[in-house]
Structure 1
Amino acid sequence: MTVRSTLVGKDVGQYELVHGVPVPEAGPDQVVCKVGAIALNPTDWKMVDFSVVPGAVGGHDFAGEVIEVGEGVTRLKKGDRVLGLAIGFNADDMRMGAFTDYAVTYAHGAWKIPDWMSYDEAATYGVGIGTATLALYQTLALPPPVVDDDGKITAKKQKKPVYVLVAGGATATGTIAIQLAKASGLTVVTTCSPQHKDLLLSLGATAIFDYSSPNCAIEIRNYTDDSLQYALDCVTEAGTMKMCYDAIGSAGGRYVGLEPLATHIQYTRRAVRADWVIGRTLSGLPVRLDGAYGRPARPQDREFAEVFFALSEQLIAQGMLKPHPRELRTGGLEALVEGIDDLRKGKVRGKKLVYPLA
């Protein structure tokens, strides 16, 4: 019998590494993967601090090799190299999660990677792609990239620039969102600190603005000729939300954040429609979290994911979706808690922490 090690929730703010756990079988529409690398996200500390599920496997981002497919899975097969987006601390299936050497995830949350891509690179994608696609295409309803008859992806040509503001462009979701928007033929303006300017220009941003400038919003509004209609806020604090609201043109538009919204700002402009997304809805199941984070089942998000994750697979293969900058750390599963604490303390900026599993 093959066994695995898992990093599970123990108590509020605490993980526990458990060894000798039997590797679970793949359920319907699931796959089991031997994990080659794990990446961390801010949600990994937020979940254990505020929404821990004792005994459930934590983590979301991984890459590895498929070793078993469940009933109904036809797109993937044993031996496929994949990147994975798992739903860590999953009350509906506590076996699921990325913090393990044998991960279980939904089949639509695993997609193939090119032979030339390492597991270290691939592990950085999952949460960023899931969140960015959900925000840009499901919530803001922006046009997706176009796939021609030969399978080549091309940007839809716009008669005049359609501007999209990505606030927090140097975040892991921001770098993915910039590239997706560019592939869609949109004109991306973004905010970051000066040290990340060259990176974001190389990924497809047209104009960069210093988020620390007191004139940031008016500079964006002037640059877009008062025509900005779409804003994705990858930081989603009161200050960034106000900046986005002030940057959106006089005619109004749409704003989407990644955390519950500051209501004292949300209703200051009637012409701006605001919403926020949580990537856990991509499972199609209810989000069983407390307070504003809880959501009813959204099967439409599951259907959306099946289409757009497959598109992301093509974008990666064609070199149009590059991984977020990463910092490789050693120590495997035993070292994850230290990295999670570094994220909690704000010690990691502009990079994803990645842990290869030997």
Structure 2
Amino acid sequence: MSNMAVRKALIGKCRGEYEVVHDAPIPDLQPDQMLCKTKAVALNPADAKTIDNSPSPGIGGYDFSGTVVRVGSSVTRFKPGDEVFGFVHGLNADNRDSGAFTDHVIATAELCCKMPASMTSNQACTMALALGTVGYAMFKQLGLAMPGSEGGERPEYALVAGGNTSSGRMAIQLLRLSGIKPIVTCSINANAVMNDLGAFQTFDYRSSTCGREIKNLTRNTLVHALDCVTSVDTMAMCFEAIGAKGGKYVGLEAPPTQVKYIRRDITVDWVQALSLFGKPVKLEGVYGRPASPLDRQFAAYLYQEAEKWTEQGLIRGPDFQLGQDGLEGIRDGIDHVRKGQVQGYKLVYPIA
């Protein structure tokens, strides 16, 4: 054990419930890990879904920012004192020591980025999970070209359903960096924000003609669709928008079976971002995954590239609002997320 033997943390207590503990252990670091003094954490829908459906006595939370305290023997990108943000596996039944909801995070270094001087810790903590999720969906599953790379597909258009979600906002920016025109669905109130992020054209997701209008704009040639909502309605809209030659659809959740088989010319997939850690994802049913070293390699490259994009000011996180009372306040915040009361922004909790 290290001489900093324990830490304060928010851990899974039972289904639907977290609890604050003051004696969560700080184990010795694995070679690829680093210990970070937490500055801020951001809440995600997964924080509610996981504790409600797959609770574990591990530390919760996926998104953090902080200061590196110590690094493992194989970590070369970071050193003590670096300001970073990263994606960690919250409520991990296999490793209860991972998770963001603690005053000292144990992070996998390859899934972290250095924080640019122009960015605050509150801003930075909103980005890493969205980067991993969207990057995996677009550049691996949809096969689109990563910014600056020569491989992958670079079509004229790609569709982002749910552009005003955190993942949708990230997708718009990454598509623009790749030279692809983002076609975006959102509420009409979000049009100005979507355009500022780089949307080529926005469509009202409430319109019954949304899919048809997108098909007309793209001249019946659309191939790639990323669904950041993944409901029956959004999936049906994406299927209607995809052109006559078929295409690829990726959702952020397991896709609804009511729509999945309507068009056999569309390849359907969905994102399990936890696969990026390269270890088995031991969740029930379709949520489980075998270990994928290739996904880990992809993640390492993605986060190195993303560090450059953030440093250059090419991508930014979503809007956020500050929550109160640090780790203790997170439980109320998760309840707001659970009830659908957090829309168009992320809840961020500074950690003293």
Query: In the TM superposition, what is the alpha-carbon distance from 1:278 to its structure 2 partner?
Result: 1.0
Matched, 1:345 2:339: yes
Matched, 1:271 2:265: yes
- Structure 2 residue identity aligned to 1:258: L
Matched, 1:14 2:8: no
Contact residue 25 and residue 32 of structure 1 kept, 8 A: no
Q: 2:139 aligns with which of 115, 137, 140?
A: 137
Query: In the TM superposition, what is the alpha-carbon distance from 1:76 to its structure 2 partner?
Result: 1.0
Query: In the TM superposition, what is the alpha-carbon distance from 1:12 to its structure 2 partner?
Result: 0.5
Query: What is the match of residue 79 of structure 2?
Result: 77
Q: 2:173 aligns with which of 179, 188, 192?
A: 179
Query: In the TM superposition, what is the alpha-carbon distance from 1:256 to its structure 2 partner?
Result: 0.3
Query: What is the match of residue 91 of structure 1?
Result: 93
Query: What is the match of residue 27 of structure 2?
Result: 24
Query: In the TM superposition, what is the alpha-carbon distance from 1:297 to its structure 2 partner?
Result: 1.1
CA distance in 1, matches of 2:168, 2:337: 17
Q: 2:292 aligns with which of 295, 298, 304?
A: 298
Query: In the TM superposition, what is the alpha-carbon distance from 1:98 to its structure 2 partner?
Result: 0.2
Could you tell me which runs of 5 or more consecutive residues in structure 2 were left unpaired when the two chains were aligned.
none
Contact residue 33 and residue 75 of structure 2 kept, 8 A: yes
CA distance in 2, matches of 1:147, 1:252: 25
CA distance in 2, matches of 1:335, 1:263: 37
The 10-residue stretch of structure 1 (302-311 or 13-22) with the greater mean CA deviation from structure 2: 13-22
Q: TM-score, normalised by structure 1?
A: 0.95
Contact residue 157 and residue 185 of structure 1 kept, 8 A: no
Please show how residues 1-358 of structure 1 align to structure 2 within 5 Å.
1-2=3-4, 3-54=6-57, 56-146=58-148, 162-358=156-352
- Structure 1 residue identity aligned to 2:208: P
Could you tell me which runs of 5 or more consecutive residues in structure 1 were left unpaired when the two chains were aligned.
149-155
Query: In the TM superposition, what is the alpha-carbon distance from 1:263 to its structure 2 partner?
Result: 2.2
After superposition, give the CA deviation of every residue in 1:115-160 in whole Å (9 maximum; x if it has no partner): 1211000000011001000000010110111179xxxxxxx996xx
After superposition, give the CA deviation of every residue in 1:95-127 in whole Å (9 maximum; x if it has no partner): 000000100111111110111211000000011
Query: In the TM superposition, what is the alpha-carbon distance from 1:22 to its structure 2 partner?
Result: 4.0
- Structure 1 residue identity aligned to 2:254: P
Q: Secondary structure at the match of 2:184?
A: strand
Q: Secondary structure at the match of 1:137?
A: helix
Contact residue 90 and residue 97 of structure 1 kept, 8 A: yes
The 10-residue stretch of structure 1 (124-133 or 258-267) with the greater mean CA deviation from structure 2: 258-267
Query: In the TM superposition, what is the alpha-carbon distance from 1:23 to its structure 2 partner?
Result: 3.1
- Structure 1 residue identity aligned to 2:268: A
- Structure 2 residue identity aligned to 1:244: C
After superposition, give the CA deviation of every residue in 1:172-220 in whole Å (9 maximum; x if it has no partner): 1000011001000001001111111111100010000000001110011
Query: In the TM superposition, what is the alpha-carbon distance from 1:27 to its structure 2 partner?
Result: 1.4
CA distance in 2, matches of 1:326, 1:130: 19
CA distance in 2, matches of 1:147, 1:37: 32
Q: TM-score, normalised by structure 2?
A: 0.96
Instruction: State the number of aligned residues.
Output: 348
CA distance in 1, matches of 2:238, 2:122: 33
Contact residue 167 and residue 228 of structure 2 kept, 8 A: yes
Query: In the TM superposition, what is the alpha-carbon distance from 1:280 to its structure 2 partner?
Result: 0.4
CA distance in 2, matches of 1:277, 1:187: 22
CA distance in 1, matches of 2:251, 2:222: 16
- Structure 2 residue identity aligned to 1:254: K
Q: Secondary structure at the match of 1:164?
A: strand
The 10-residue stretch of structure 1 (325-334 or 56-65) with the greater mean CA deviation from structure 2: 325-334
- Structure 1 residue identity aligned to 2:126: T
Q: Secondary structure at the match of 1:16?
A: strand
The 10-residue stretch of structure 1 (16-25 or 269-278) with the greater mean CA deviation from structure 2: 16-25
- Structure 1 residue identity aligned to 2:302: F
Q: Secondary structure at the match of 2:137?
A: helix
CA distance in 1, matches of 2:141, 2:29: 31
CA distance in 1, matches of 2:313, 2:128: 16
- Structure 1 residue identity aligned to 2:317: P
Q: Secondary structure at the match of 2:110?
A: helix
Runs of 4+ in 1 over 6 A off after TM superposition: none
Q: Secondary structure at the match of 1:146?
A: coil
CA distance in 2, matches of 1:109, 1:228: 32
Contact residue 143 and residue 153 of structure 2 kept, 8 A: no
